[in-house]
Amino acid sequence: MIDKYREDLMEALAVIPSGASIAVGGFGSSGRPDALLNALCDLDRRDLHVFVNNVGDDFTGIGRLVVEGRVRRFTGSFPILQEFYDRYFDGRIELELIPQGTLAERLRAGGAGIAAFFTPSAAGTMLADGTFPLGYRDGEAESYVDAKETREFNGRPHVLEHGITADFGLVKAYRGDRKGNLRFRMTARNFNPLAAMSGRTTFAEVEELVEVDALAPDDIHLPGVFVQHVVMTAPPIPATVADGASTKGAP
């Protein structure tokens, strides 16, 4: 058996260089891999291209990366943090805005080996026609997102979107075993499996580490083939004890 559990989080993450592209899981603060993201800050990684649904509204995790000036480009749907926009309009960060469903499918497609697909989302808008500002300089738009190929299907315009394959994936799971099989909880399941699939090398922080075979096959939301490293954010629990009962089949 290949044991993917890493005791030293900082040592494991040291392989991520500045300038890397990173797919990050989480839905708001739910399922956000803050331990991994904060470790990147502590390792002083910079010039990052981050694919993530949203920045969040606090100063940990993605928010900390942003306010410390470590993100070069944000590709996502909801950058609601005011400090993000301060940096965007000051020309210190680039923004590629993507509809939420399109972002999810681009991450999934990249992980599934699908190069591109057509979707009606964003057709006929500035997100697709090349007029959305990617970056600013001196208060003026300096660069724009690329215009996207448009085709008509069943009488409706669709735009071409490319699958996302990031250098690394960072995700958080409720439970995981030493083979990297993961189970997510509630809304944390929305983007974490997709971000894990998108990353060429994926790190998963887990709240509970269980032994192999402790997770029932039907309770695994992401198979370990998509995960290369597992780290803990809480002390390990015995393989046979969770919520007062066996971990097999537990929610």
Q: Quote the tokens at residue 64.
A: 């900390």
Nearest to 95 by CA among 54, 150, 148, 60: 54
Q: Per-residue confidence at 114, pLDDT binned at 50, 70, 90?
A: very high
What does the alpha-carbon distance between residue 232 and residue 209 come to, in Å, rounded to a whole number?
Answer: 7
pLDDT of residue 234: 59
Query: 147 in helix, strand or coil?
Result: coil
What does the alpha-carbon distance between residue 111 and residue 114 come to, in Å, rounded to a whole number?
Answer: 8
Write the pLDDT tens digit of every residue in 153-209: 999 999 999 999 999 999 999 999 999 999 999 888 999 999 999 999 999 999 999
Where along the chain do its domains lie? 1-115+163-251
What does the alpha-carbon distance between residue 155 and residue 165 come to, in Å, rounded to a whole number?
Answer: 31
pLDDT of residue 8: 92
pTM value is 0.89
> Which CATH number is 1-115+163-251 given?
3.40.1080.10
Q: Per-residue confidence at 239, pLDDT binned at 50, 70, 90?
A: very low
